[in-house]
């Protein structure tokens, strides 16, 4: 568990499920999987972390899930992490603490490295203090309060990271709006090319793969920019396309429902009325005045 990680970092094992180390001291290129990792990295010109011209330049934070292996780090890779603070948290600590209840909120552990967080000097100081708080608690020694206090300090660190990621979405607003427009075009093309009949409804994975983004980052970006999930948007878009086809074509309600991927005409009619206030037939007759 954490012992192998400590050996790689040349650090002493203080707690069996968590460790803080400095990657500038690492000599063994193997670090086992099974840990959530947070790496606070100083300023660098390395492009692999996805920094844009609109991002802060003072430091970057990289989040790695337990499935991510660091076993292939080369000397060149390690040079990018020089003087980084490296926090390893075993999944067992998360699963046995209060953090587990809302750990899914910290979706950035499923982001790609080129979707990392880029922070200002002020934000860096805040996160550095949080790391120091965790280190101080680890060095206090293990007693009955240790896990409660450590999990609380980890949660505080993660909440700051979540706040700073939200800030980064704001500073990237122009870039993000372009991504949203590309997403909407992707979905419209999907419907117009009738891919539903072969592949079913478009998904978050379909969109993120076409945009070369992780699904987790794409979903968070889309929700931040639109206030809805991609699934909610697709549902509303289907209803909008149904309205257009009801008004502009002579296709039957059953045909329109089938083309837009609804499981049945009955389901489509029920949902359409719920969202528009009219049945498809009621909407079709005076559609020009209703719309």
In this structure, are 142 and 212 located in the same domain?
no
Cβ neighbours, 10 Å, residue 254: 15
State which of 115, 141, 171 marks the end of a domain: 171
Q: Are residues 116 and 222 in the same domain?
A: no
Q: From CA 56, how far away is CA 213, in angstroms rounded?
A: 20
DSSP assignment of 238-249, as one string? HHHHHHHHHHH-
The residue whose two tokens read 């953090």 is: 99
DSSP string, 85-116: EEEEEEHHHHHTSGGGGGGGG-GGGGS-GGG-
pLDDT confidence of residue 84: 83
The total number of structural domains that make up the chain: 2
Q: 148, 171, 194: which is the final residue of a domain?
A: 171
> pLDDT averaged over consecutive 10-residue blocks of the chain (291 residues)?
48 73 55 82 73 92 84 60 83 91 96 95 97 93 87 97 98 98 97 91 97 98 98 96 94 94 94 93 74 50
**pLDDT, the chain, mean:** 87
Q: Are residues 34 and 144 in the same domain?
A: yes
| pTM, 2 dp | 0.87
| Residue 41: strand pairing partners | 60
| Shared-domain flag, residues 50 and 66 | yes
State CA 256 to chain mean position distance. Answer: 34
Contact call for residues 59 and 124 (beta carbons, < 8 A):
yes
Clarify whether residues 39 and 164 are in a common domain: yes
The verdict on 160 and 224 lying in the same domain is: no
Residues 129 and 253 in one domain: no
DSSP per-residue string spanning 127-170? HHHHHHHHHHHHHH---TTHHHHHHHHHHHHHHHHHHHHHHHHH
Per residue in 99-155, pLDDT (tens digit) is: 999 999 999 999 999 999 999 999 999 999 999 999 999 998 888 888 899 999 999
Are residue 164 and residue 182 in the same domain, yes or no?
no
Residue 206, CB-side half-sphere exposure with 13 Å CA sphere:
18
Domain boundary among 156, 171, 186: 171
Q: Same domain for 81 and 123? A: yes
**What pLDDT does residue 146 have?**
86
pLDDT tens, residue by residue, 157-184: 999 999 999 999 999 999 999 999 999 9
CB 151 within 8 A of CB 101: no
pLDDT for res 86: 87
167 and 201 both lie in a single domain? no
Calculate ∠ Cα 233-234-237, nearest 5°.
85
Residue 42 confidence (pLDDT): 83
Quick one: 121 and 215 in the same domain?
no
Domain assignment of residue 23, given as a range: 2-171
The residue count of the chain comes to 291
Whether 190 and 81 share a structural domain = no
Domain CATH number, residue 220: 1.10.10.60
Write down the pLDDT at residue 30.
40
Structural tokens at position 157: 């660190």
């Amino acid at each position: 568990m954490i012992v192998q990680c400590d050996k790689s970092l040349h650090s002493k094992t203080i707690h069996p499920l968590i460790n803080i180390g400095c990657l500038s001291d690492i000599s063994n290129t193997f670090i086992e999987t099974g840990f959530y990792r947070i790496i606070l990295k100083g300023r660098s010109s390395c492009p692999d972390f996805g920094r844009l011209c609109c991002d802060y330049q003072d430091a970057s934070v990289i989040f790695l899930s337990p499935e991510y292996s660091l076993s292939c780090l080369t000397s060149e890779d390690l040079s990018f992490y020089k003087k980084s603070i490296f926090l390893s948290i075993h999944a067992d600590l998360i699963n046995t603490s209060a953090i587990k209840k809302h750990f899914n909120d910290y979706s950035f552990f499923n982001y790609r490295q080129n979707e990392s967080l880029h922070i200002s000097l002020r934000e860096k100081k805040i996160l550095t203090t949080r790391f120091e708080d965790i280190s101080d608690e680890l060095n206090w020694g293990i007693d009955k309060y240790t896990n409660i206090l450590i999990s609380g300090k980890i949660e505080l660190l993660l909440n700051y990271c979540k706040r700073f990621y939200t800030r980064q979405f704001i500073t990237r607003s122009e870039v993000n709006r372009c991504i949203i427009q590309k997403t909407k075009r992707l979905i419209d093309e999907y419907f117009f090319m009738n891919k539903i009949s072969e592949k079913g409804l478009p998904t978050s994975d379909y969109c993120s793969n076409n945009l070369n983004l992780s699904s987790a980052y794409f979903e968070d970006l889309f929700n931040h920019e639109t206030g809805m999930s991609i699934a909610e948007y697709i549902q509303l878009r289907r209803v909008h396309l149904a309205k257009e086809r009801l008004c502009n074509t002579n296709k039957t309600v059953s045909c329109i429902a089938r083309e837009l991927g609804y499981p049945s005409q009955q389901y489509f009619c029920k949902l359409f009325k719920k969202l528009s206030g009219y049945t498809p037939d009621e909407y079709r007759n005076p559609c020009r005045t209703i719309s």
